[in-house]
């Protein structure tokens, strides 16, 4: 499956799960800030991706669990160096380069974009 | 006691499917307000089961199915209605049948589908499908409460599955944990 084909299927999943229009789903759109995703939507998206691509996604594999709430990794609302290392290790498909310069926890939502999902799916399909 | 919007569970296949019925009765007070006669507009009373309460019934059906899968250890809450369609009214004297199935489930929650059917005793058609609902349920403690989550504090006891649910399970012949 080409990257474009993956993108189109991811777009269909997001249009369905988040009730957004096709044109709103761009590569750089943030799931939370631009497409209005809330916590339960992430579970919905994971289930729909599994169905659409016939893959299994473990809990916490696509979206983080625990890291941003762990006091070891977040101090005074800022993700620590250890926190960044942990997040990168857990989420290799996420691009943290912009976030690193301003690692406020309130900004973490911006790193989860449509491209994040496309890259994740590419990785999953390559391993099959 | 919680307000139950299903009368009986008639079939349960653990982790897969649950079927429940709701008898619509003119003795239910809300039907007299939904909709009452409006003399000013010259409208006669029109008692019909509110669609919102049909949705609540489907949510209770699917929610019990999801809760039963983990022996009611999880606090199962309705988190999202992805899609809901009801295209016929349920009037007093009819019976609604909700068939809920689990589409996908993991530790965080479940995705479910529920088919709504109507039995009209005055018609010979048997149960006729009148709608469908797709819903997501969240395991509250796995997503919000507890260590390593958002730190929200929820009561230890399972306040979701209270006495009303237990009575319904028992009167439907299903073992109460």
- Whether residue B145 is predicted with pLDDT greater than 50 in this model: the reply is no
Give the mean pLDDT of chain A. Answer: 90
Percent of chain A surpassing pLDDT 70:
98
A47 vs A59: CA distance, rounded Å: 10
| Cα distances (angstroms) measured from residue A16 to each of A19, B25, B135, B170 | 5, 37, 13, 38
What mean pLDDT is predicted for residues A25-53? Answer: 94
Instruction: Encode B148-174 in three state secondary structure.
Output: CCCCECCCCCCCCCCHHHHHHHHHCCC
- Which letter does DSSP use for residue A12 in this model? H
> Is B27 an 8 Å CB contact of chain A?
no
pLDDT of residue A66: 67
**Residue that is written with structure tokens 């529920």 in the block:** B114
The reported pTM is 0.86
- Whether residue A128 is predicted with pLDDT greater than 90 in this model: the reply is no
B30 vs B168: CA distance, rounded Å: 21
Among B136, B130, B1, which residue's Cα sits nearest to residue B59?
B136
Paired tokens of B128: 């006729």
Catalytically active residues of B are 34
pLDDT of residue B146: 39
pLDDT of residue B2: 64
For residue B48, give how far its alpha carbon lies from the nearest alpha carbon of chain A (Å): 30
| Cα distances (angstroms) measured from residue B89 to each of A89, A100, B42, B63 | 54, 56, 21, 24
Residues of chain A with Cβ-Cβ distance to B150 below 8 Å are: 69
- Whether residue B157 is predicted with pLDDT greater than 90 in this model: the reply is no
What mean pLDDT is predicted for residues B43-72? Answer: 95
Beta carbons of A40 and B138 less than 8 Å apart:
yes
For residue A112, give how far its alpha carbon lies from the nearest alpha carbon of chain B (Å): 18
B24 vs B57: CA distance, rounded Å: 12
Beta carbons of B138 and A51 less than 8 Å apart:
no
pLDDT tens digits, B91-129: 999 999 999 999 999 988 999 999 999 999 999 899 999
Beta carbons of B107 and A51 less than 8 Å apart:
no
pLDDT of residue A115: 95
Q: Which of A16, A44, A69 sits opposite B136 (nearest CB)?
A: A44
pLDDT tens digits, A45-104: 999 999 999 999 988 888 877 666 777 888 888 888 888 888 888 888 888 888 888 888
Strands annotated E in B14-169: 17-23, 76-86, 94-106, 109-120, 127-139
Cβ distance A17 to A45 under 8 Å?
Answer: yes
Beta carbons of B109 and A39 less than 8 Å apart:
no
Helices and strands (DSSP H and E) totals, chain B? 4, 6
A31: three-class secondary structure by DSSP: coil
CA of residue B25 relative to chain centroid, distance: 17
For residue A115, give how far its alpha carbon lies from the nearest alpha carbon of chain B (Å): 24
């Amino acid at each position: 499956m080409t990257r474009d084909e993956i993108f189109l299927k991811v777009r269909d999943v997001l249009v369905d799960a988040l009730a957004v229009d096709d044109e709103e789903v761009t590569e750089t759109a943030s799931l939370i800030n631009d497409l209005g995703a809330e916590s339960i939507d992430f579970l919905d998206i994971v289930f729909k991706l599994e169905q659409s691509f016939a893959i299994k996604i473990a809990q916490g594999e696509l979206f983080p669990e625990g890291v941003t709430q762990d006091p070891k990794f977040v101090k005074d609302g800022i993700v620590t160096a250890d926190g960044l290392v942990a997040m990168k290790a857990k989420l290799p498909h996420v691009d943290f380069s912009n976030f690193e310069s301003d690692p406020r926890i309130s900004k973490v939502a911006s790193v989860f974009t449509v491209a994040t999902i496309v890259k994740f799916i590419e990785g999953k399909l390559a391993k099959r | 006691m919680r307000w139950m919007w299903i009368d009986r569970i008639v079939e349960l296949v653990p982790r897969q499917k649950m079927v429940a019925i709701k008898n619509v009765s003119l003795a239910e007070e809300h039907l007299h307000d939904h909709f009452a006669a409006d003399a000013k507009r010259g409208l006669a009373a029109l008692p019909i089961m509110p669609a919102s309460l049909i949705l609540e019934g489907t949510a209770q059906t699917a929610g019990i199915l999801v809760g039963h899968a983990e022996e009611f250890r999880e606090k199962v809450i309705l988190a999202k209605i992805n899609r809901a369609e009801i295209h016929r009214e349920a009037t007093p004297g009819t019976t609604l049948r909700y068939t809920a199935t689990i589409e996908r489930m993991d530790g965080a929650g479940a995705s479910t589908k529920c088919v709504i059917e109507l039995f009209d005793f005055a018609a010979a058609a048997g149960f006729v499908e009148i709608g469908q609902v797709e819903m997501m349920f969240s395991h509250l403690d796995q997503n919000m409460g507890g260590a390593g989550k958002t730190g929200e504090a929820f009561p230890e006891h399972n306040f979701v599955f209270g006495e009303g649910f237990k009575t319904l399970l028992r009167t439907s012949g299903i073992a109460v944990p």
